[in-house]
Amino acid sequence: MVDWRKRTVQSGDVTLAVFELGDEGAPPVMLVHGWPDTHHLWDQVAPALAKEFHVIAHDNRGAGESSRPGGVAGYHIAELADDLLTVADEVSPERPVHIVGHDWGSVLTWEAVSRHGAEKRIASFVSVSGPSLDQLGAWARENLSRPTPRRVATSLSQIASSAYTAFFHLPVAPRILLSFLGIPAVWRNFLKVTEGTPADRVSIAPTLRRDMISGVALYRANIVPHLSHPEPHPTTVPVLELVNHRDVALRPAIFEHTHRYVQRLWRRDTPTGHWLPHTHPEYLTEAARAFIGYQETGSLEKPAWSERTRLIGPPQAFSGRLAVVTGAGSGIGRETAYALAELGCEIVAADIDAVAAEETARECRAKTVPATAYALDVADSAGFAEFANTVQRDHGVPDIVVNNAGVGLAGGVLDATDEQIDRLLDINLRGVITGSRLFGRQMVERDLGGQIVNLASAAAFTPQRDLGVYSASKAGVLLFSESLRAELADHHIGVTAICPGIVDTAIVANTPIAGLGSDEQAARDRLVRFYQRRGFTPDKVARQIVAAIRSDKAVVPVTPEASVGYRIYRFAPWLSRQAARRRVAAPVPTRR
């Protein structure tokens, strides 16, 4: 139970119930709820913020312990924005307030921050699951006036998600439905079904049913006027936009034009749902705390967080995300780092060759994203653990991990030495398992999802007489990735196995060939020429990796021969076994 201090504030004809926590001399932070909530929405967020800030929450008009105007006219967002500023003036007359708004609380705060001179009263704004209706209307108009397949698809997706708003405009039906949905047990179950919200995390006011019914006026008073005649205005108030990709009501695409109206915009995308204050209060608290602290002091415990999440221009596919790539000093690893950097990721480039890793990081920084290089031997489990801890401490928990580092070994299994086999398995299999476990634990603990990409090979499902040990290591990566994918599915962490075929990379020139002795170098030179003639370059694999991350694919055979081999092994494995007996022209691993 939160021990709020209560007072009332008069805003025109409306009496607002205001609640406070924390030291009144600390920087003021206002928490603004939406429909059908009250200030109790913040019961899991406010106490943590109150350790550093003066926390203020109020019940919006028509909700909780505040007045309930009759009819629809009293619920225009301009009226609610006036209420917000009145509370701010009353509680913090000398100091501008920081605002965290959710749902309609965010919608009405957009109205407030877009007013002339808003920066004098509002120091910053954290927007959660609540767009500016005017910006949304302008976005919809642009999609309709210049339709493309993508715009049509995103518009239809948002229309489907917002269908309930049309229902709320009906005369009688909403009251009947909401009278039932407003039963606390029913509402808790609804949130559990739609977003997996644990029942014990949902703080509900005793006025829930009345709040649901009276709050319908918000939709009737604002949706049609603002969407049909949008008038978006710019703001100089710094804004952090938390975009939830599993939001049942709002699709991420509707926020793609926010940068046009916000002079200083930060953005974080996560696979979270609409009721973030219930489902992930720790994440919301930390994001708000860090952002508000940065606006207050100009400094941040993790400066990369600010660099990574600030938008200069439109958001990219992976804006604000952190990607760790091993084996990033060359080949597929380097090209994957470049591809992710171009899409907005901060890059942590790790490689056993520190100089090569720094070259990759330098090129990523030229793409205007933060990038840092680290020396890493993935076969050193203790060193890998230290690296993972350093990444978490200095950069945060990664959103994307690409376990790419690997080596090759060709020739007969009987000719390979124990040292060659141990090194191969330590890097190719144990290194992938170590990276997946270390960063997977961090992702699970953070509880915001993520993507782990493990580089296997077409050799994992195309047996060859000259690649026995290498094939075993890659088959292990493939089955490990499939198993880990099942284990982490409940945490919304995807795991992908990438299986390239013949790719022209530096690994070929460095691969030992067991059993050839003095003829090994000549054989390797022939193989290098063969791979070069094949002409499938690492950047093509990187593009497939990015596509797999976007769609969360389980297994991706990359090259044409990999795709054919994958299907043969699945549907006619005897053909694979027959082919394996033949001595191929190029018995060398096909990655990096």
Which sequence positions are flagged as catalytic? 470
Q: Tokens in use for 61?
A: 């008009």
Which residue(s) pair with 454 in the sheet?
Answer: 403, 497
Residue type, 489: A
What whole-number distance in Å separates Cα of residue 235 and Cα of residue 112?
Answer: 10
What whole-number distance in Å separates Cα of residue 184 and Cα of residue 431?
Answer: 49
What whole-number distance in Å separates Cα of residue 383 and Cα of residue 391?
Answer: 12
Q: Is 395 exposed, middle or buried (0-12, 13-18, 19+ CB in 10 A)?
A: buried
Identify the three-state secondary structure at position 78. Answer: helix
What whole-number distance in Å separates Cα of residue 504 and Cα of residue 194?
Answer: 47
What whole-number distance in Å separates Cα of residue 96 and Cα of residue 88?
Answer: 8
What whole-number distance in Å separates Cα of residue 140 and Cα of residue 263?
Answer: 22
Q: Is the dihedral of CA 174, 180, 182, 186 positive or negative?
A: negative
Distances (CA, A) of 338 to 269, 311, 367, 370, 521: 20, 19, 8, 12, 32
Q: Strands, E, within 131-258: which ranges?
A: 239-244
Q: Tokens in use for 244?
A: 């939830």
Q: Are 86 and 57 in contact (CB under 8 A)?
A: no
Categorise residue 447: left if φ over 0, alpha if ψ from -120 to 50, beta otherwise: left
Q: Tokens in use for 346?
A: 């901060």
Nearest-5° angle of CA 532, CA 534, CA 538? Answer: 75
Question: Whose CA is closest to 210, among 184, 188, 185?
Answer: 184
